[in-house]
Structure 1
Amino acid sequence: MPNGATLRERTATLRGVTELRTPPISDSDVFHRRVREYADERPYERLRVLDAGCGRSAPLDLHPAECHVTGVDDDLPEARAGVRARRDLDAWHLGDLRTVPMPPRVYDIVHVSHLIERVPHAELILDRFVAALRPGGLMLVRVRDRDSAFGRLDRVAPGWLRSVLWQRDTPPRPVYERVASAAGMRAYCLMRGLVVVEEHTSAGMTARSGTIVRLLCRAVGVLSGNRATSAYSDVAMVIRKPENRYARII
């Protein structure tokens, strides 16, 4: 059991489930609050942060914590352009995420935003992030859920339709492996001995898309018998790596 873990976190670990909350705020606020709480527990340390997917995601709000931020992403033209536009990175590495430099047990915070759904070998890459995380550290994950109505639509829509629906926000077609979902991430954490201490869902991409996309998502939800929900498209999770050296961790 993690040293200093809350009663809720201990209960979540024993049950193998997450600490679910009704989200009163955005997931970005949740991440910021967790970083601030983590930093407050270590007032004289400069936090080391790994921003995974840094070329195509918004920076994590780290204020007022003192941090050293390292970014990693695939070596693709859009990722390179995104990295050049960032001013918060102290260092960055682009390349195959299975091999880019990630020293073990170094980072206090690993931020993974909309990366898991768009890369192959997602579990292997997640394993590398967890290995790079210090015991007691936090992995902040935001993923577009493959099992949501939006996720299903994104997986099956032909390229021409995606370019019309997503308009200016047209990313490369995501891979959407099994782990790229709320259920997949919970199963991954359970198998790796990680603790999901907070989880939120949001409309995310659906809310930013037009009326046609929202109507299509509702249609997908109805046609799937509500197995693919149109209530949300994105899932945000705060995951803790246990400090207990006897815990099953990477």
Structure 2
Amino acid sequence: MSEVRSVAPRGDLFGQRVREQWAGLLGRRLDVLVAGCAHDEPLVLERIETRATGVDEDHPAIRAVLGERADLVSWSLGDLRCVPLPPRSYDVIQVSFLLERVRHAELVLDRLLQSLRPGGLVLLRMRDRRSAYGLLDRIAPSWLRRLLWRLVVAPGTPGPFPAVYEPLASSDGMHAFCLSRGLMITDDTRNTSGPARNRGLAAVALAAVARLTNGRYPAGHDEITMVIRKPQHHFARLL
């Protein structure tokens, strides 16, 4: 499947797309749903009024982070397959490093999309199961993941979270999902963030995984970043 590439600088991709969305809505307030509250920083949008609500799984590390976030007017924690999400209530949904750590990821994303207004945007960041980092993260035993986490991330960083990595947590999986739901991917980039940016032990381990898999799981990125648009006239499924 052909890959859509962003025409916006990586650092301002989400901000640029949200500003375009705001202009198309004639400057009214944007309602934002932040799905995955543990990682992503708030959108910084000058002169744009936003109202942000959070939703995530109920996890002690997530509760601790939520206590420090002043940008969310409210939040709900629990099973994302049944947590209350009012339909067609949000203009923008941030899905931040969530899909790779939850089970029933397609069902969860479908429920999030039901709460998105027609023409709304999904700002997606997730770890790629088809990267060296994704492979190492999901095959490493839990005790090793906890040890490595303390070695490669800054103190106080929440995690490690469960490493589920269902097929949706990949470029092919997300493209197939969007095709079957009539969604349009406007931007699709590969980046390196989080523990994979560490140039010490993590870099050595990821390079070894890439070599052992003959490059099928590359070490050059660990994150997929996408902007996805829900059409104005949206059918639940096309297939």
Query: Structure 1 length as normaliser, TM-score?
Result: 0.86
Q: Distance in 2 between matches of 1:93 and 1:24?
A: 32
Identify the residue that residue 225 of structure 1 maps to in structure 2.
214
The amino acid across from 1:29 in the alignment is: D
Identify the residue that residue 3 of structure 1 maps to in structure 2.
none
Structure 2 gap ranges (5+):
none
Is structure 2 residue 172 aligned with structure 1 residue 189?
no
Identify the residue that residue 161 of structure 2 maps to in structure 1.
172
Identify the residue that residue 239 of structure 1 maps to in structure 2.
228
Among all aligned residue pairs of Structure 1 and Structure 2, give the percentage whose two residues are the same amino acid: 46
Query: Structure 2 length as normaliser, TM-score?
Result: 0.90
| SS of alignment partner, residue 92 of structure 2 | strand
Aligned-pair Cα RMSD in Å: 2.1
Structure 1 gap ranges (5+):
1-15
Is structure 2 residue 84 aligned with structure 1 residue 101?
yes
Q: Distance in 2 between matches of 1:79 and 1:212?
A: 27
| SS of alignment partner, residue 90 of structure 1 | strand
1:219/1:171 Cα in 2 relative to 1: closer, same or farther (>3 Å)? Answer: same
Cα contact 1:106–1:132 (8 A) shared by 2 = yes
| SS of alignment partner, residue 30 of structure 1 | helix
* Of 38-47 and 133-142, the range deviating more from structure 2: 38-47
Is structure 2 residue 103 aligned with structure 1 residue 120?
yes
Q: Distance in 2 between matches of 1:67 and 1:236?
A: 22
Q: Distance in 1 between matches of 2:190 and 2:171?
A: 9
Matched pairs, number: 233
| SS of alignment partner, residue 67 of structure 2 | helix
Cα contact 1:144–1:151 (8 A) shared by 2 = yes
Cα contact 2:192–2:223 (8 A) shared by 1 = yes
Q: Distance in 2 between matches of 1:172 and 1:91?
A: 23
Cα contact 2:31–2:50 (8 A) shared by 1 = yes
1:177/1:245 Cα in 2 relative to 1: closer, same or farther (>3 Å)? Answer: closer
Where do 1:28-67 residues align within 5 Å?
28-67=11-50
Q: Distance in 2 between matches of 1:163 and 1:247?
A: 39
* Structure 1 segments (4+ residues) deviating >3 Å: 245-249
Identify the residue that residue 13 of structure 1 maps to in structure 2.
none
Identify the residue that residue 72 of structure 1 maps to in structure 2.
55
- Alpha-carbon distance, 1:180 to partner: 0.8
Q: Distance in 1 between matches of 2:219 and 2:39?
A: 25
Identify the residue that residue 4 of structure 2 maps to in structure 1.
19
